[in-house]
Amino acid sequence: MTSGGRNLVILGIIAVIVALTSTSVSLAMYHYSGDIYLDRSRPGYLPDKEEKEEEDETEEGLYVFEKTGPVTKEVLTEYLEKLQVEVDGLKGYEKPFGASVLSDEALGIGK
């Protein structure tokens, strides 16, 4: 092996060692700083102690369509009635893309 080839192999080995070292140090800092607990890109990844594993409880007044069972006329009628209540609640809002939404009164900033 020539001198240049040997130097290239040594440079490659040093680059791999530097990359592994810097990655190990950064992951250790990420773990020990506590930032790992802020990572919520993966649900269920390192959950908080207070966090529920599975949320079976629903908010009061929130209708949940059954996941199993037959779809009958009564089930659909009940679903449409509950959905209509939600739609009627949305009709009370002003136009969300209108200019009045950004007015001083709407934003709660007065003179």
Please report, for the chain, the start and end positions of each structural domain, with discontinuous segments joined by +: 1-47, 55-111
Cβ-contact 54, 43 below 8 angstroms: no
Q: pLDDT, tens digit, for every residue of 10-51?
A: 999 999 999 999 999 999 998 888 777 776 565 555 555 665
Residue 98 has a pLDDT of 74
For residue 3, is pLDDT > 70? Answer: yes
Instruction: Report how far residue 25's alpha carbon sits from residue 56's, in angstroms, rounded to the nearest whole number.
Output: 40
Angle, alpha carbons 24-22-5 (nearest 5°): 120
Instruction: Report how far residue 66's alpha carbon sits from residue 70's, in angstroms, rounded to the nearest whole number.
Output: 9
Specify the long-range contacts of residues 22-26, CB closer than 8 Å, at least 24 apart.
Answer: none
For residue 83, is pLDDT > 60? Answer: yes
Non-local CB neighbours of 37 within 8 Å, separated by 6+ positions: 46, 48
